[in-house]
């Protein structure tokens, strides 16, 4: 019997790799180490249904408790890996244990970015990545009237929608000139901005934050222009810092993520990295990318398992992502960076539309609001590097399936 595969990080990607190893008939031990108290769970509802109170905690678990024994996966929660001993092929834990591996998978995700603002460490200042942080935020929302959110990315906006559902007054403060500026097109960002304002959110763009105010707990935010926004609690929603510490300390190649090849293998051939923490070369987009999505966590986990089982296959996905805000479902296929032309299908005024983005005539991304057929068709067209006719795409009398034939 070998010492098997050890996976650090019992999140979406780590679980996917463990499950895929077993599905492929991997016979060695599989150990899944997680530093959180909870078993593997879904993070997307933490800013959506779980925070708004519509989804109970039991619905967060990715697997029933009995699954791990049945699949011979040793799940160890509350165990933090503190160092890698690559020469000895061992993982050292915070508790002083050494766990031997034949193959190691790093699925460490990342932590919510904190800002070095005055007042950022005050009680009443929250971030949101983990279940424990969601519970702390949710408890605080229960006793609060006003919430200030720094950052209008997906998580900031989803929390804004959930908090409005719970009856809070919400301010969202964004330094860029529109919401979701890093990942979405100006038209889509502007549309979601108007949606939030329509639901009563005080959304301010091009707004710098100078400090979080308060003597012994947060009581507001001071803006760069000196104005103060009052709040009973503050959420910093400023993105993710990938969890590369173990890899960096062990000398693995890292650059805003752990660098991996298309089989999820790091610069050490016995060590893999998957999910939010991994950066890989995308042939489809011609550059290195690091994706923060459930789809990537699942599929890259499977890619690592395939390589460990001796059946490596190139991982070059069409990225996709979704976000729920109020009753709008946003689905994004592909990446819009580099787009030089856009076609709109449907009417934003009616709340259902899709934006198709092209680069040199090739479809590279689609942002779809309440438009599932457009999203699903675009996934396939992007994968095929297709050049759909923009005029026909614009024409809603042409069914989406016509573009696949
Ligand atoms: C609030 C929120 C909403 C989201 N909404 C969406 C959405 O709508 N759609 C979508 O596609 N994606 C969404 N995402 C992103 C998605 O959840 C992530 O892409 C996905 O969880 C990544 O999986 P992962 O396994 O790489 O990382 P994680 O799920 O973060 O798992 C990593 C795990 O490793 C653990 N860990 C780290 N270091 C160690 C260590 N040294 N020892 C032991 N354990 C360690 C961490 O504690 C964590 O449990 C959302 C994320 C958040 C936070």
Q: Residue of the nearest CA to atom 14 in ligand 1? A: 44
- Which protein residues are within 6 Å of ligand 1, measured from CB? 8-14, 33-36, 43-44, 46-47, 80-81, 107-109, 128-129, 155, 243, 246, 275-277, 292-295, 297, 321-323
For residue 133, the CA-to-ligand 1 centroid distance in Å is: 13
For residue 32, the CA-to-ligand 1 centroid distance in Å is: 15
Q: In the 8-state DSSP scheme, what is residue 311?
A: -
What's the rounded Cα separation, in Å, for the pair 46 and 343?
33
Strand partners, 83: 92
1 pLDDT higher than 60:
no
Joined together, the tokens standing for residue 217 give: 């707990």
For residue 260, the CA-to-ligand 1 centroid distance in Å is: 18
Q: Exposure pattern of 141-165 as b/e (b: 16+ CB <10 Å)?
A: beebebbbbbbbbbbbbbbbbbbbb
No. of H helices and E strands in the chain?
Answer: 10, 26
Average of per-residue pLDDT values in the chain: 97
86 pLDDT higher than 80:
yes
Q: Residue of the nearest CA to atom 38 in ligand 1? A: 108
- Among residues of the chain, what percentage have pLDDT more than 70? 100
- CA–CA distances in Å: residue 261 to residues 102, 217, 271, 352: 19, 46, 11, 38
What's the rounded Cα separation, in Å, for the pair 405 and 392?
14
- Outline where 309-402 has alpha helix (H): 372-383, 390-394
Q: In the 8-state DSSP scheme, what is residue 113?
A: P
**41, 61 in Cβ contact below 8 A?**
yes
Contacts of 19 (CB under 8 A, 6+ apart): 71, 73, 301
* Ligand 1 binding pocket mutation candidate from 294, 296, 321 (most atoms within 8 A of CB): 294
Tell me, yes or no, if the pTM score tops 0.85: yes
The predicted-structure confidence for 228-283, as pLDDT tens digits, reads as follows: 999 999 999 999 999 999 999 999 999 999 999 999 999 999 999 999 999 999 99
The predicted-structure confidence for 337-362, as pLDDT tens digits, reads as follows: 999 999 999 999 999 999 999 999 99
pLDDT score recorded for residue 405: 81
Q: Residue of the nearest CA to atom 53 in ligand 1? A: 129
For residue 13, the tally of other CB atoms under 10 A from its CB is: 32
pLDDT score recorded for residue 2: 80
Residue in this structure with the two tokens 């997906």, named with its chain if needed: 154
For residue 303, the CA-to-ligand 1 centroid distance in Å is: 18
Q: What are the structural domains of the chain?
A: 5-111+241-308 (3.50.50.60), 114-236 (3.50.50.60), 327-404 (3.30.390.30)
For residue 215, the tally of other CB atoms under 10 A from its CB is: 8
């Amino acid at each position: 019997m070998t010492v098997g595969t050890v996976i650090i990080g019992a999140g979406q990607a780590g679980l996917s790799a463990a499950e895929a190893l077993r599905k492929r008939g991997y016979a060695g031990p599989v150990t899944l180490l997680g530093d959180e108290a909870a078993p593997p769970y879904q993070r997307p509802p933490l800013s959506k249904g779980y925070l708004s109170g519509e989804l109970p905690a039991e619905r967060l678990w990715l697997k029933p408790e009995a699954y791990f024994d049945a699949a011979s996966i040793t799940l160890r929660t509350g165990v933090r890996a503190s160092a890698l001993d690559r020469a000895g092929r061992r993982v050292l834990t915070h508790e002083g244990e050494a766990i031997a591996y034949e193959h190691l998978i790093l699925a460490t995700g990342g932590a919510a970015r904190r800002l070095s603002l005055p007042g950022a460490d005050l009680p009443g200042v929250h971030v949101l990545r983990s279940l424990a942080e969601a519970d702390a935020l949710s408890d605080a929302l229960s006793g609060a009237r006003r919430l200030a959110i720094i950052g209008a990315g997906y998580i900031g906006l989803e929390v804004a929608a959930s908090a409005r559902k719970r009856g809070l007054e919400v301010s969202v403060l964004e330094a860029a000139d529109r919401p979701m500026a890093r990942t979405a097109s100006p038209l889509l960002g502007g549309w979601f901005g108007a949606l939030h304002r329509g639901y009563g959110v005080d959304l301010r763009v091009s707004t710098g934050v100078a400090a979080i105010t308060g003597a012994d707990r947060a009581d507001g935010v001071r803006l760069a222009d000196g104005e103060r926004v009052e709040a009973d609690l503050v959420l910093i929603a400023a993105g993710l810092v990938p969890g590369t510490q173990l890899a960096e300390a062990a000398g693995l190649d890292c650059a805003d993520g752990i660098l991996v090849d298309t089989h999820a293998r790091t610069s050490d051939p016995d060590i893999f990295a998957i999910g939010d923490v991994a950066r890989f070369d995308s042939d489809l987009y011609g550059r290195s990318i690091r994706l923060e999505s459930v789809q990537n966590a699942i599929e890259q986990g499977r890619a690592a398992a395939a390589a460990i089982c001796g059946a490596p296959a190139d991982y070059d996905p069409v990225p996709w992502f979704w976000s729920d805000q109020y009753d709008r479902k946003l689905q994004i296929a592909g990446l819009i960076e580099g787009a030089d032309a856009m076609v709109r299908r449907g009417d934003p005024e009616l709340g259902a539309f899709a934006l198709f983005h092209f680069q040199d005539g090739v479809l590279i991304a689609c942002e779809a609001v309440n438009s599932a057929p457009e999203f699903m068709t675009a996934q396939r067209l992007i994968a095929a590097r297709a050049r759909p006719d923009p005029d026909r795409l614009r024409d809603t009398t042409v069914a989406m399936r016509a573009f696949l034939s």
